Amino acid sequence: MNSQKVAVITGASQGIGAALVVAYRKLGFVVVANSRSITPSEDSDILTVAGDIADPAVGARVIDQALATFGRIDTLINNAGVFVAKPFTDYTDADYDLVTGVNLRGFFEVSQRAVAAMLTGDGGHIVNISTSLVDHANSAVPSALASLTKGGLNAVTKSLAIEYAARGIRVNAVAPGIIRTAMHPVETHDLLAGMHPLNRMGEISDIVDAIVYLETAPFVTGEILHVDGGQSAGH
């Protein structure tokens, strides 16, 4: 078996996901990177697997190709996610299918197969990306589908952490506040910064640093790490 550790990262083509690919390479991992539109990498230690993680076949393909290429899986970062903010009564069936498809079905398919692979190896680590809105609902950001799905991820993080604690698999989550990425137009930044007690938006590096901490914290499992400028504490 390959002795080099292998990290699987979903939603890896931009923003936090792309930064995580760089961070895990710096940690010495080889990386399997998935997103709908990801293109092949010039780095032979980065395997790209294109596909929509909401499609059950894609999660299976990501793990199968990871094992076929590198022979093991040590870490899975469930970074792919979608966010649709609407009043509850405005959500459509298509919105529900989109958000649950990526945030829950995508998590389920790829995580189930990753855990099975970890159990045959040296254990492993899963990190789920949640949102501070689960704990700190905001009247200015109606987001029931985010809370429904990401709240589920928070709960399953603890459930899986306990189920597999004695078998060498740690499971944690990071709950970001609002992060400065391309999804937020520059003209909204001042408003968004004011939604955090620290009075700034988070940076991609804030989230990456939190995940790297969890990666290197062998006594931490079942943790929902809030990286949200104080949002979950109050306002």
* Per-position pLDDT tens, the chain of length 235: 568 999 999 999 999 999 999 999 999 999 999 999 999 999 999 999 999 999 999 999 999 999 999 999 999 999 999 999 999 999 999 999 999 999 999 999 999 999 999 999 999 999 999 999 999 888 888 999 999 999 999 999 999 999 999 999 999 999 999 998 877 888 889 989 999 999 999 999 999 999 999 999 999 999 999 999 999 998 7
Question: What domains are there in the chain, each with its CATH number?
Answer: 6-175+206-225 (3.40.50.720)
pTM equals 0.96
Residues 6+ apart with CB under 8 A from 50: 34, 35, 36, 37, 38, 39
Cα(100)–Cα(84) distance, rounded to whole angstroms?
Answer: 11
173-to-62, 183, 228, 229 alpha-carbon distances in Å: 21, 21, 13, 16
- Where b means 16+ CB within 10 Å and e means fewer, 157-181 reads bbebbeebeeeebbbbbbbbbbbbb
- The pLDDT score that the predictor gives to residue 1 is 55
Q: Hunting for tokens 């391309």 — which residue is that?
A: 182
Beta-strand (E) ranges in the chain?
6-10, 30-35, 46-50, 75-78, 124-129, 169-176, 224-227
Report the alpha-carbon distance of residue 223 to residue 160 in Å, rounded.
Answer: 11
The phi-psi region of residue 38 (left if phi > 0; otherwise alpha if psi is between -120 and 50; otherwise beta) is beta
Distance CA 145, CA 178 (A): 17
Amino acid 140: pLDDT: 85
The predicted structure's pLDDT at residue 100: 97
